[in-house]
Amino acid sequence: MELQHSISLKPYNTLSLDVKAAYFVRVNCIADLRAARQFCQDKHCPWLLLGGGSNLVLTQDFDGLVMFMAMDQVFWPAEKSLDRISKNFIVSVQAGYEWDLLVEESIMRGASGLENLSLIPGQVGAAPIQNIGAYGVELKHCLGGVQVFDFDTGEEFELSSADCEFGYRDSVFKRHQCWIITQVRLLLSRDTEPKVSYGIIEDTITSQLGKPAISASPQQVRDAVIHIRRSKLPDPKKIPNVGSFFKNPMVSNGQKQALAQQWPGLVTYAVDPKKHKLAAGWLIDQLGWKGFRQGEVGVHEYQALVLVCSGSATGKEVLDLAKRIKADVAVKFGVTLEIEPRLFDNRGEFYL
C-alpha cells in the first residue's frame, strides 16, 4: 500500500470540489484493503472509499484515509466454454472498472442486458449501491451477486441479488456502509430482444431507425440511450455535476390526484396500484429554478434536476442551493425531495 499525504480530491469527484484528504491510497487488491484497514485502526481515523466520484458531495477536507478503488479486471467467459444451447452467461467484474466501458464491451461481445444503462458515470462497484437504473431497466434485473469486504471485521463474503435488498436507488449497502464491494457478477444474455417499452426510448429508436423499436439491436438501443442522455444531461468533464441531484418522490394515489387538480400538467409514473412517482425535475422546473445561478453554483439551463458548479465552488454552496430548492418544493407542492448523492464532511457521511 503506497500511502500519500494531503492529496486534493478535485480529480476524484465529478463536482470538481477541491477538498483535501489527510491520507490517500489506491486500492489495487484485497491486500491493499487489509493494509488500509490496519492503518485506520492504528491511527483511529475515519475512511472513505472513492470510485468514479459521480454520486457524492464533499463539503470539507477529510480528516482520515481516502481510498481510490483501482481493482479493474474483467473476467469474460472463454468463447469455447459458452453453452451453445443456453442464451445466458456470466461475467465477473472488479469494482474499479468503468461502468460504461463494461456496457460497451458487453455489446461488442454479443451480450445484451446492460444497453439501457449506457453512459451512466462511475465504476462498477458503485452500481449495486444505488441499484442504478434508467429507461425501464435496473441493475437488479441482471445482477447475479457481489463479493464484499467488510472493512470493520476484515471478512470477505458473497451476497446474492436477493441479499442486496434492492429498492428504488437503494440497497443493503446504504445500511452497511462498512461493506465494500470488490467484485460484481452479472447475468447477461445473447437474446437480443430489446427493452424498449419506456416511452422516450421507443420514440427515439423509432425516429432514428424509421421502423418499430422492438426490432432494434442492443447497439441501436445503446445509441438511443446515449443520444437521450447527452441531450438531457451535461458532461461532468465539461460542466461539473453529479447527474440527477434529487430522487423522484413517491406519493399515494390520493396525493397524486390532489396535486394533479392543482397542477394539471403534473408528470407522474405509476409504481403500483397505490403509489406514483412524481417527476422531481418537473416540480423544480415549475418553480422557475431551471437556469438559476448563484455565485459559483446553479441549476442546469436544460435540466432542472441537475445542479452544476464552477471549478471553484464549494460543497457548502452546492448544499445551500439544494436546501433552498427542497424548501421551495415542500412549500409549493407539499412534497419532500430527497437528495440522491451521498454527503460527506470531514469525518464521514451525513444526512439532511
Q: What amino acid positions are annotated as catalytic residues? A: 169, 244, 340
Rg (the chain; Cα; Å)? 21
Closest CA to 153 of 34, 309, 283, 251: 34
Terminal C-alpha separation, the chain: 35
203 burial via Cβ count (<10 Å: 0-12, 13-18, 19+)? middle
Q: What distance in Å separates the CA atoms of residue 276 and residue 102, rounded to the nearest whole number?
A: 32
Backbone region of residue 113 per phi and psi (left: phi > 0; alpha: psi in -120 to 50; beta: other values): left
> In the beta sheet, which residues pair with residue 5?
23
Q: Which residues contact 40 (CB under 8 A, 6 or more apart)?
A: 46, 47, 64, 65, 151
Instruction: Determine phi and psi for 285, rounding to 5 degrees.
Output: -65, -40
Q: Is the separation of the CB atoms in 163 and 144 below 8 Å?
A: no
Q: Is the separation of the CB atoms in 69 and 93 below 8 Å?
A: no
Amino acid, res. 75: F
Q: Is the separation of the CB atoms in 118 and 219 below 8 Å?
A: no
Q: Which residues contact 249 (CB under 8 A, 6 or more apart)?
A: 277, 278, 280, 335, 336, 337, 338
